[in-house]
Amino acid sequence: MLQRTPETGLLLDKVLHHVEAIYHDTPTVVDYDTLAKELLDIMRLDELAPAPPQYVNHWSQRDAIVITYGDTLLREGEVPLATLKSFLDDYSDGLVTGVHILPFYPWSSDDGFAVLDYSSVNEFLGSWEDISAIAGEYDLMADLVINHCSGRSLWFENFLQDKSPGKGYFYTALPDADISAVVRPRTSELLREVETPEGTRYVWCTFSHDQVDLDFRNPEVLKQMVSIVRLYLDNGVRIFRLDAVAFLWKIPGTTCLNLEETHEVVRLFRTLVEYAVPGALLITETNIPNRENLSYFGNANEAHCVYNFSLPPLLVNTLVTGNCRHLKTWMMSMPPAQNGTAYFNFVASHDGIGLRPAEGLLSDEELEELVTTMRRFGGHVSFRALEDGQSKPYEINISLFDALQGTTAGPDSRAVDRFICAHAIMLALEGIPGIYIHSLLGTRNDYQRVEHSGQYRSINRHQWEYDVLIEELEREDSSHAQVFARIKALLAVRRQQAAFHPNATQFTLHLGDALFGFWRQSMDRRQGIFCISNISREPLPLSLSDINLIGTQEWVDLIGGEHYHSREEVIELAPYQTVWITNAAGHDLP
């Protein structure tokens, strides 16, 4: 047998370490050596493969990712994935480098997140050839729905009949198990009663009874997921979004959230993916309080990127209250991402505005005011269950455009400017930007879709008839056209600035509660950018002396094009105006 030592750095050593750490305390007897070799065989990796370079940033300021369902754009006579590619090719002007296609597999509920078959493309959307075509032009992000699968999948049907594949794949608990401390985002019963050849069993359902949790204590489940990763890599996927991964490992009597075995599974997938395709990335989708979310960076050995989940509720709250104090406090507390890791920034998603990531950052009274304002703007609220049987707001379901149609005082005429301000802030922050397609298009609340589906989240999952959308984008007086053009203009500027590299230095500025500002500096220290936004309804003065401009340099606003020659100048920022002020010698205009 190969003599392994920590110093060898061989891939087999690393994988063996991972599986030992995962399975050392499970009731199942696991042959660690055999399992480690099986995982390498599935990934087609050499046991003696040398380690790829560590702490490498596989991204730059040029990167921006569009988030979309595969069927958001519909054109008669064409599969939706082909329509999506046409739109990106013809209208993104080369400003988008990646696309996250939300679950494109056959599914039974939750708009794709109850997967029937991980190895197939939903035939309504297209085929693997369509997926590969998109992957050939853009960095493709795909969901690895790792925590659960459909209650109508072949795996679960086989589980109910004690057949393979599926036998032993799903987590079960006794009805009297201690689940009092379990943290979950739903109010439905956690355990679902089912009948099997072995009698009545109780399967664990973190999200819904059609989304049954997989049991990673069974190594066969791990091997299945690794084989799915290999399949996706073979079809061009380069970014894996680990959906709901925080809930992966269960131990009754605990919260069953963020357990050490879960983190070790992430480390294992990181090792396998980066050895298989250097430059392939893992992003953890962990809609949980901020400190817990950051733990998925590990020591730069878990996720390459984590979703910046606290940003959407804090930024929306900032813009509807006209006060940036909480956003500024949070920003000062955020550690810079190590090389080889990055934040994934977003303001809107297919789900909604998560409130758990704002817990501890906004008071209960402030959260209640935010919820009340969003309801006034046509939004809905989803709840989660608490230990005492009560429920608490978990998520606001609303389109971002409608969320920013006004302030706590009510709707006003500055919706587009406020909306663009949100994106100007997000695009300038440390991290990689992800833009939900309905934000790129300024889509409004879809009440008809909510009524049809019976799901609040459908309010922000509109489907566009392609010709109707293009007509809107070609009308100068359309809010959709205005939003689309202005966000693309920001992207065009952003990608030219070294100070907007996702890992470039960031410092918070202190300009009061109505001006939100921060400083970005390129890693070679040649360029700095002052990013300042008026987040209020009133025009405000900005004295350039307050931001310590170097008097010997000429400065320019990258967005508006104005030049500044003296640090004694005072400029007036219109409501929701953003300036990106940089030293003229250190930047390139698009």
Q: Is 213 annotated as a binding residue?
A: no
- 264 band by pLDDT with thresholds 50, 70 and 90: very high
Q: What is the pLDDT of residue 554?
A: 83
Question: Which of these, 251, 272, 354, lies nearest to 310 by C-alpha position?
Answer: 354
Q: Is 117 annotated as a binding residue?
A: no
Rg (CA), the chain: 24
**Does the pLDDT at position 139 exceed 60?**
yes
C-alpha span between 444 and 463 (Å, rounded):
11
Output the average pLDDT for the chain.
Answer: 94
CATH superfamily of 505-586: Golgi alpha-mannosidase II (2.60.40.1180)
Q: What is the pLDDT of residue 169?
A: 98
Backbone dihedral angles phi then psi of residue 235, each to the nearest 5 degrees = -100, 15
The two structure tokens encoding residue 268: 């294992």
- For the packed helices 260-276 and 11-23, what is the interaxial angle rounded to 10 degrees? 160
Backbone dihedral angles phi then psi of residue 310, each to the nearest 5 degrees = -75, -20
- 551 band by pLDDT with thresholds 50, 70 and 90: low
Asked if residues 159 and 170 have their Cβ atoms less than 8 Å apart, the reply is yes
Residues in CB range of 404: below 8 A, 6 or more apart: 316, 319, 320, 415, 418, 419, 422
C-alpha span between 437 and 457 (Å, rounded):
15
Q: What is the pLDDT of residue 5?
A: 43
By the 10 Å C-beta count (0-12 exposed, 13-18 middle, 19+ buried), 588 is classed as exposed
| Residue 427 CA: distances (Å) to CA of 4, 64, 91, 318 | 46, 9, 19, 16
pLDDT digit string, tens, across residues 369-414: 999 999 999 999 998 877 777 788 999 999 999 999 999 999 999 9
Asked if residues 367 and 289 have their Cβ atoms less than 8 Å apart, the reply is no
Residue 243 designated active-site: yes
The two structure tokens encoding residue 64: 């921006």
pLDDT digit string, tens, across residues 322-356: 999 999 999 999 999 999 999 999 999 999 999 99
Percent of the chain with pLDDT over 70: 97
C-alpha span between 428 and 500 (Å, rounded):
6
pLDDT digit string, tens, across residues 86-134: 999 999 999 999 999 999 999 999 999 999 999 999 999 999 999 999 9
C-alpha span between 148 and 131 (Å, rounded):
23
C-alpha span between 225 and 301 (Å, rounded):
19
* pLDDT, greater one: 10 or 438: 438
- 2 band by pLDDT with thresholds 50, 70 and 90: very low
Residues in CB range of 442: below 8 A, 6 or more apart: 401, 416, 419, 479, 480, 482, 483, 484
C-alpha span between 126 and 78 (Å, rounded):
9
Asked if residues 212 and 158 have their Cβ atoms less than 8 Å apart, the reply is no
Give the position of tokens 């606001």: 396
Show the CA angle centred on residue 334, arms to residues 332 and 340, nearest 5°: 140
Q: Is 452 annotated as a binding residue?
A: no
| Residues comprising the chain, all counted | 590
Residues in CB range of 58: below 8 A, 6 or more apart: 279, 281, 304
Q: What is the pLDDT of residue 585?
A: 61
Backbone dihedral angles phi then psi of residue 147, each to the nearest 5 degrees = -85, -30
Q: Is 351 annotated as a binding residue?
A: yes
Asked if residues 352 and 395 have their Cβ atoms less than 8 Å apart, the reply is yes
To the question of pTM greater than 0.75 for the whole model, the response is: yes
Q: Is 148 annotated as a binding residue?
A: yes
* pLDDT, greater one: 480 or 382: 480
Task: Say which of 243, 402, 446, 546 is annotated catalytic.
Answer: 243
Question: Which of these, 446, 447, 442, lies nearest to 418 by C-alpha position?
Answer: 442
pLDDT digit string, tens, across residues 516-540: 999 999 999 999 999 999 999 999 9
C-alpha span between 524 and 504 (Å, rounded):
9
